[in-house]
Amino acid sequence: MDKKQGSGKKASSPEGSPTSSPADVEGLSAANSKSEKKSPAPIPVIETDALSDLGIDPEIKAPEIERSLDRAKENLLDYIGERSPNFNRDLIQKAIDFTMLAHKDQFRKSGMPYAEHPFEVAKLLADLNMDSVTIAAGLLHDVVEDTGHSTQEIKEVFGEEVAFLVESVTKISAIKSKSRADQQAETFRKMLISMAKDIRVIMIKFADRLHNMRTLTYMQEERKKAIAAETIEVYAPLAHRFGLAKIKWELEDLSFKYLNSDAYKNLVKKVVEKRQEREEYIRGILGPVKEALRRAGIEGKVYGRPKHLYSIWQKMQSRQCQFEDIYDLYALRIIVNNIADCYGVLGLVHSVWTPLQSRFKDYIATPKSNMYQSLHTTLIGPGGKPIEVQIRTEEMDVIAEQGIAAHWGYKEGASPRNLGKENKWLLQFMEWQQDLTDSHEFMEYFRGDLVPGEIFVFTPTGDLIQLPTGATALDFAFALHSELGLHCIGAKVDGNVVPLYRELQTGERVEILKSDSQRPSKDWLSVVATTKAKSAIRRWMRTEEMAHSIQLGKEMLEREFRQARVPPAMQADFKPFADKFSVPDWETLWEKIGHGEITLGAISTFVQDLHPNRKKTSVLGRLTPFKRAAKPSESVLVSGMQNMLIRYATCCHPVPGDKIIGYVTRGRGVSIHRANCPEGMLLIKDEERIIPVEWKSEAGQMFEVVVEISGKDRPDLLRDITDVFSKARINVQRASIVTVRDQVRNRFRIQVSDLDQLESTMVQLRKLKGISTVLRRQSGN
């Protein structure tokens, strides 16, 4: 059971969570007695009022419930046997008995016995052709969490493998945290770790979530929406990642039902109304396809493929149209014996109806990352209506429906426990998640990495690289190697030079351009789409920031030593600092000082206390300059002093001539803002950190500014704008152009030496034909 759903009930308290009877399972009590553990406290007998509250008549329902569970038990054994004739009947029988007794006094919100839920989970796992160990764990998955039984008991009765799966599912559900966001992040992080150890853990979670979604109607409205939102944001895309198409579709449709019930009901009504018309059309196109296969001597199955409600709704939203305007609702699937027949059938259907060349995809030659293989083509059928056709082998069809669950059935000698260790996406995300300590950041990356859609691009040597839709040239560089990504300056796509942020398309050949002097910037995080690239950039930035903080903190502490005239012997004594600030070594102390975790005031007071006879200096006096390693000189004087570590705020891009203020940051020196900068004006409230600054004259120093130019589009406008920049000897670092009808908005990031150069250039730009406004952006790219 998904604990968040709270779908279980204790019989004596309909609103409470389920608890269990400690009754021993017949034939299993010997194992329990060997452990000599104290039995759980006995549960109260079911009260008549409690049964009434659940909507169960105690006079006639209790025996019926017991008989219905006995029938359900036999039905479940038959159900599993039909799908897996060689299943371990003794193990499953034992798990059913244990589950029935453990949950015997528990009921779901529907009033049904709680054992119904693990029974349905077991059926879903059987549908996925899971092994007997996984089905047994599915039957027992709520026992430890919701009853008085322990993992150790499960291990003693069912063995280590079943106990591991039950414990892993239990630990995922049992995570508690102060905030819902943190709890959700830790839940999915734990789930990923468990999946990497044994992929069957996620199969049990999928079955658990799917049955909970099927019975969500008994929950309160707010809980329904919260669970449905989590399902469509995480569980459905995750099912897609593992190729579980049937589970993904049902999770999406059920989530859609609860998140937008009016739209769902309206769409169901329209689909039903059009059903006969749609089925007649499909019958009309099945005949010619079957006849073409018969004449070619190709054996195969041909049938109509229903479109799922949520996918139809997505098309309506993306195209901004009504259901009646969606014409590509007709779909065929053709199953043949081998790959050669797949391509043979492709030629046949293209000879029957005209294909849309732009809609052909060969996922047999280039499988998706979730192992999906098929040929996709779209034909113009009778009446000019598009027909989507999928062509695949029987094995491909099973893998398309059941994904990784079917994989070990076709992979000789494959162990389901090891498949998680072979899943490339899972292994990569497990590596990246170690760098994500913030729960919001983790969920952002996790959701982003689950977004479906892939492109296939090539290296100069012809190697195929898979990337998510929306991936850029910079993503491609990081996909090849992290070091290549960190030093990437651009790329060549099909021989043409393109910028880092250029989105790639399937079939393009990409060559990365690099420079050893190139270093990442924070802006890169808005350019890349893949988790691998974002993780590498953040890791590099953290490493650089740590090194910088250590250097800065060391200089700040040394300065305090000099100010307080602390003798060298006392400076070398680390123990007082370790005791005061709870740090293990000098480097950690310097990093905390440089980063601002230990404030300048705190360290100054402590150092001066080491030498109490020395007169204390003012706050401003303690802001004596620290040398910056990156540049020998700066263009700003900090309170009349040179060589202070400074940085120019990217929110307002100050240049010489602007009125400016200085703000002492945590670990990054003094940040320089324009005096009218909105962000800088907010910082003024923190008076202790504001420091007087002024420009000093220095030749050769350049400053970034963002200029926005709007007007009426015309031929040669861009050339005229760049001519103005060229004549003013201004370097353009980056440009973006947005055109809507006949109006254009150009945004340029340029480098200027001072305010005079900037303002004179803006005057010349305003004189150009068609230009309506030239503004200096307060912030932007």
The residues annotated with a catalytic role in the active site are 145-146
Q: Please give the structure tokens belonging to residue 726.
A: 């060229």
Can you say whether residue 458 is alpha, beta or left, with left for phi > 0 and alpha for psi between -120 and 50 degrees? Answer: beta
CA–CA dist 525, 447 (Å, integer): 16
Q: Are strands 771-776 and 703-712 parallel, antiparallel or unpaired?
A: antiparallel
Q: Please give the structure tokens belonging to residue 23.
A: 């009754």
CA–CA dist 209, 7 (Å, integer): 11
- Asked if 374 and 366 count as a contact pair (C-beta separation under 8 A), the reply is no
For 2, 73, 118, 148, 510, the CA distances from 96, given in Å and listed in that order, are: 20, 7, 9, 17, 56
- Asked if 752 and 655 count as a contact pair (C-beta separation under 8 A), the reply is yes
DSSP H stretches of helix in 451-585: 473-480, 482-486, 531-564, 568-571, 575-581
Q: Please give the structure tokens belonging to residue 173.
A: 């559900």
Q: Are strands 330-336 and 386-393 parallel, antiparallel or unpaired?
A: parallel
CA–CA dist 574, 596 (Å, integer): 19
The 3-state DSSP composition of the chain as helix, strand, coil percent (nearest 5) reads: 50, 15, 30
Q: Please give the structure tokens belonging to residue 78.
A: 């038959």
CA–CA dist 690, 680 (Å, integer): 10
Burial of 255 (0-12, 13-18, 19+ CB in 10 A): buried
Q: Look up residue 441 and give its amino acid.
A: E
**Which residue pairs from 421-427 have beta carbons closer than 8 angstroms and sit at least 24 positions apart in sequence?**
421/196, 423/199, 423/242, 424/369, 425/241, 425/369, 425/370, 425/449, 426/192, 426/195, 426/196, 426/199, 427/196
The DSSP H or E segment spanning 637 is strand 636-638
* Burial letters 542-578, b for 16+ CB under 10 A, else e: eeeeeebbbbbbbbbbebbbebbebeeeebeeeeebe
Which position has the token pair 């839709």? 469
CA–CA dist 474, 493 (Å, integer): 12
- In total, the chain counts a number of residues equal to 781
Rounded to the nearest 10 degrees, how much is the dihedral formed by the CA atoms of 426, 428, 431, 435?
A: -110
- Asked if 173 and 2 count as a contact pair (C-beta separation under 8 A), the reply is yes
